Each structure stands twice: as C-alpha cells, then as structure tokens.
Amino acid sequence: MAAPMELRCWGGGWGLPSVHPESLTVMAYAKFSGAPLAVNTINNSWRAPKGDVPVLISEDIVISQPAKILNFLRKQQYNADYELSAKQGADTLAYIALVEEKLLPSLLHTFWVDAENYCSVTKPWFASRIAFPLNLYLPGKMSREALNRILLTRGGPPFYSLTEVEAQIYRDAKECLNLLSKRLGTSQFFFGDTPTTLDAFVFGFLAPIYKVCFPRVHLQEHLKQLPNLCRFCDDILTCYFRLTASGHSPTGQDTADANLQKLTQLVNKESNLIEKMDDNLRKSPQHPPRRLKTLKLAAGGEESSPLNRLSP
Amino acid sequence: AAEPWPENAALYQQLKEEQILLSDNASSLAVQAFLQMCNLPIRVVCRANAEYMSPSGKVPFIHVGNQVVSELGPIVQFVKAKGHSLSDGLDEVQKAEMKAYMELVNNMLLTAELYLQWCDDVTVEEITHPRYGSPYPWPLNHILSYQKQWEVRRKMKAIGWAGKTLQQVLEDVDQCCQALSQRLGTQPYFFNKQPTELDALVFGHLFTILTTQLTTDELSEKVKHYSNLTAFCRRIEQQYFEGNDKESSSTAAARSAKKSLLR
C-alpha cells in the first residue's frame, strides 16, 4: 500500500474505541484482518462530518458505508473470512441481517430517541465533537433520522403510538440477544477461534449497549444477563483494542512509562538539591534550623490508565 | 385451548390477474406454502381492497374462525398456538439460524422486490402503476399509486436504499441467492428432511421472481443462476401445489397473462 488508509469516524468513550456502532464495526474488522488503518476521530474542527460516517479514504477513493468499506478491504487482501466455508459465509449474511433488523432499531432508540438518554448523554457527547454552529443542528438531525427510521420500518398498524412501537422493538431486541447468545454458546468467536466479519458486526452493535452508561438501561441489563456475550465483548476489547479510549497503542504506554520515569528522576534531583540547600542553611548560624519537607512524587494524573479517563 | 382449524379458513390477497404486485404475491405464496406444509386447508379469496382490510395494512391475511391475522410471522405464531408447528424438531441453534435466514430474505429479497417495483422508473410506469390502481376509476387509481409510491420511497430513503442503483440492488439479490444456495447445498430442504417456515418463505419469493414477467429478465436470471434453488422451487411446487383442485399458484400462473411459467 502506498499510503495508509484513513478512517474518519466518531471517537470513543467508556472504554470503547468508538461509540458509533458502524464505526466500531469497521475498526474491529480492520483489527481482525490486520489492515493498517489510520483512525482519525471526528473532533471539534471545521472539517465537519458530511454524509455518512464512517468514511474510508484510500488515496483518492472515498467509501462510506460499512458493508462497502468491508468489501473494499477484502479486495485489498485484508480478509478476515478466509477460513470460512461457503455455508458459514451464508450464515454470516443471515446473522448480520438479523442484527440489523432486530437489534438496530432498539439501539437507535436507546441512543437517539429516548428523551432522557438523548439529552443527558448522547447530545452532549456528539455536540462536543462537532464544531460550532453545526453542533446545534447535527445531533438533532441525527435524532430525527433515527426516529424516522424506526417509525418507517417498524411503525404503522397495528401499532398506533410510539410506546407500542418501543415495546415491540425492545422485545425484538431482547429476543435477538437471546438468539445471538444461543448461537455463540461457549466458543470464543462465532466461527471458532478466529474472529470474522460476523464478530465485527456483532461487536459493533453490542459493545455500545454494553459499555455506554445511560440513565435508562434496560437493554444493557438484559445484555448483562447473557454472560457469554459480555465475555465476547470484553475479550475483543482486551485482545484487539488495548487502551484505545485515547487512541494509544501499547507502544504509547511505554512512552508514557518512560516519561513517568524521567519525571521521577527530575523530581528526585530537585529534592536532592533542596536537601543540600537545606543542609547549607542549617550549617549557617544566622537561621534557625528548619526542616524542609521532602518532595514526594505524586503519581501524575495524566499518566493514569486512559481507560478511566472518560468514565462518568 | 386450541380450537381445531375450521374448514372455511380464508386467505385474502389482491386480485391475482390484474392487481397484485411482485412483493405481495411473494408474501401471499409464502403463507400459502406454509399452510400447505402444515396440512391446513385454506381457500384463497381475491379482493381488490385486501390491503385495506388487513389489520396491519399488509397482505396476505388469513381469516380463521373469528380471528384475523396478517403477515407470515404472526401467522406462524398463530398456527403454533393452534398446535401445528413445522419447527418444533429444531434445536435452539437451528431455530436461531432459521430466524436469521428469514430476516435475510426479508431484508434483501423483499426490499429488492419493493425497490424494483416502486423505485425503478421503467417498471413503475409500465407495470406497477397500471396494476396497482386497476380496480379503481380515474383519478383514484393514479392517486393511490402515487401515494403508495411516495410511502415506499420514503421507507427506502430511511434504510439507505434510495441511493442504490438498480445494478447494486441486483448484486444484493445475487449475494442473497448465493447465501441461500450455499446454505441449501444438496439437501431437499433447508433443515434437511422436513420443510419449515423458512422453506415456505424462500419458495414464495423465489418462485414469484422466477415466474413473473417484468420489463427485464435480470432479476429472474440472478435466481436461475443457482440450479439448486430452481430445483428446490420445482420440488415444493410439485409436492404441495400440483394436484390441487383449488386455485393453486402454478395453474393461476399459467392463466395469468403477465406471468411466464418456469420450465
């Protein structure tokens, strides 16, 4: 590859590399298949997100939807499904369709439509990452689009009010989670020991439900009752996404350690100097003896685990 | 307590010759196949206003005793409550797989059929508009057609299909058929020996695609590419629909001017 591919997507929080399900799916797939991706999270700059997010930019090609991005990566020989049989490939498509039909509406609802969740968590989070004045408009638009999608695909008779639709989509989501849990069983990933496209999609949809802390969380509670799905998410996070809440790779942690050591040495030197000065002062007759407190090294707040940094 | 299945159970759909569209015909055929597989007698009644009679606005719906149930999912549950089920022999993982594949068919095949009918301008003009409003006088036929078209296009936009070209939609259909073909393999039914609601659903959609004449043959070509799928359709047609005194789909297909038989 001449230039590394760049992925623009929403950033992370609560221990996740991204809180947006589709961005998370693409990131997970890239990790599974070993594709070198430079992840640029959307932050408070004027390059506002236009159209779909996530977006993959490779040389001059711009690709926007997760399915198309995954296809592109496969064509570039980054294929996580290499060892799957034809039937397993078919199963992948079927389960992805199941997750999109049954789980996505309630995910959208939890993030964007439920009033308490939206106002206290989603809107501030997204607004803080979009530049003014778009941050006043864009979260609202995303919320309206989510509601629209839910109503158009699931609303209509015999449901005549939003609460009935909500009840149905949460029922469907819980059933879907149960089905996924049964399918996963006790194995580490959906098709044995290596993660594939299906694992990327399921992780992308489950992890935000699992990790993001909302005031209204009944879907999360249901998910926590399915320990194999929770273990699945945690495994992927620890194996493939070590310390990514701030985008640091393991080498980042080493440099942080090195910095910490240097700082410790400096402070120790300072404290030695101060002790020497103190001795000199004591030996000098004019001043009464004083004891200077030795400087203790406090663990730097910024070097603490980034995983805790954004915890609410 | 489960009441026995009455003799006069009826399935309502739109008028077969002039009005019914590809997607509705597929759904109706799927339900008919399912009921045949359960050995439950049903007669098909064609009404121009079937869509409006249905409790959920979608066809087909069945009228059994004093209950009205529409769409395959609720009908399967209703039939199960009466004590008939095709998927009892499956274990949990297989049931999960079956549900997943049914969602795949709904997500890809049904949406592609809707796209082709309502978002592809050529098909809309030549087939859909004339057929959809045919039982009604002018100007009602135009108004109803445009209203339905606007509704479907809105839904397509919400799920992100509005930006797709016809070629992309056909590729999605191909991918879906490939998945179904790989899953079916050389078995007679999707879960080996016994048919399930998944078989009924797949049959409904594939048979309709294969036997409906549209402006182009591209859609049916995609399905014909997979020989085990065409063999599957033929097998189910022979087993459950031929030798049937009542209006069966294959004989009706022969009579309908707009359909060409699969041979």
d(CA A204, CA A27): 9
d(CA A153, CA A103): 13
Cβ-based contacts of A90 with chain B (< 8 Å): 178-180, 182-183
Rounded to the nearest angstrom, the minimum Cα separation between A91 and chain B is 7
Residue A211 lies in a domain: yes
Query: For A15-73, how does the pLDDT look when each residue is reduced to its tens digit (9 = 90+)?
Result: 888 888 888 888 888 888 888 888 888 776 556 556 677 888 887 788 888 888 888 88
Q: Do A152 and B178 touch (CB under 8 A)?
A: no
Query: For A91-146, how does the pLDDT look when each residue is reduced to its tens digit (9 = 90+)?
Result: 998 999 999 889 998 898 988 888 888 888 888 888 888 777 777 888 888 889 88
Rounded to the nearest angstrom, the minimum Cα separation between A181 and chain B is 9
Q: Do B55 and A158 touch (CB under 8 A)?
A: yes
Residue A25 lies in a domain: yes
Nearest to B148 by CA among B29, B44, B25, B52: B52
Facing residue for B96 by CB, picked from A97, A101, A179: A179
Give residue B255's pLDDT: 37
Series of mean pLDDT values for 10-residue runs along chain B (263 residues): 76 88 91 90 89 86 88 89 86 88 90 90 89 88 91 88 87 91 89 88 92 86 90 90 51 39 36
Cβ-based contacts of A179 with chain B (< 8 Å): 95-96, 99-100
Residue A64 lies in a domain: yes
d(CA B206, CA B223): 7
> Does domain B10-256 correspond to CATH entry 1.20.1050.10?
yes
Residue A254 lies in a domain: no
Rounded to the nearest angstrom, the minimum Cα separation between A244 and chain B is 30
Give me the domain span that covers residue A212: 5-241
Residue A193 lies in a domain: yes
Facing residue for B99 by CB, picked from A153, A157, A179: A179
Query: What is the residue whose two structure tokens read 């209203």?
Result: B147
Give residue A45's pLDDT: 58
Residue A129 has, within 13 A of its CA and on its CB side, a CA count of: 20
- The ipTM of this complex is 0.84
Nearest to B261 by CA among B216, B225, B207, B223: B207
**Counted domains in chain A:** 1
Cβ–Cβ contact B178 with A under 8 A:
yes
Mean pLDDT taken over chain A: 78
Q: Do B100 and A94 touch (CB under 8 A)?
A: yes
The chain B residue lying nearest A158, using CA atoms, is: B56
Residue A255 lies in a domain: no
Give residue A288's pLDDT: 57
Residue A158 lies in a domain: yes
Q: Do B99 and A98 touch (CB under 8 A)?
A: yes
Query: What are the extents of the domains in chain B?
Result: 10-256
Domain holding A75: CATH number?
1.20.1050.130
Residue A287 lies in a domain: no
Give residue B203's pLDDT: 93
Q: Do A152 and B56 touch (CB under 8 A)?
A: no
Contact A20, A13 (CB under 8 A): no
Rounded to the nearest angstrom, the minimum Cα separation between A24 and chain B is 19
Q: Do B100 and A90 touch (CB under 8 A)?
A: no
Q: Do B154 and A180 touch (CB under 8 A)?
A: no
Facing residue for B96 by CB, picked from A152, A156, A183: A183
Hey, what's the torsion of the CAs at A118, A122, A123, A128, to 10 degrees?
A: 170
- What does pTM read for this prediction? 0.79
Report the phi/psi class of residue B102: left, alpha or beta, with left for phi > 0 and alpha for psi in -120 to 50: alpha
Give residue A259's pLDDT: 64
Q: Do A152 and B158 touch (CB under 8 A)?
A: yes
d(CA A156, CA B151): 12
What is the separation of C-alpha B255 from the centre of its chain, rounded to a whole number of angstroms?
Answer: 19
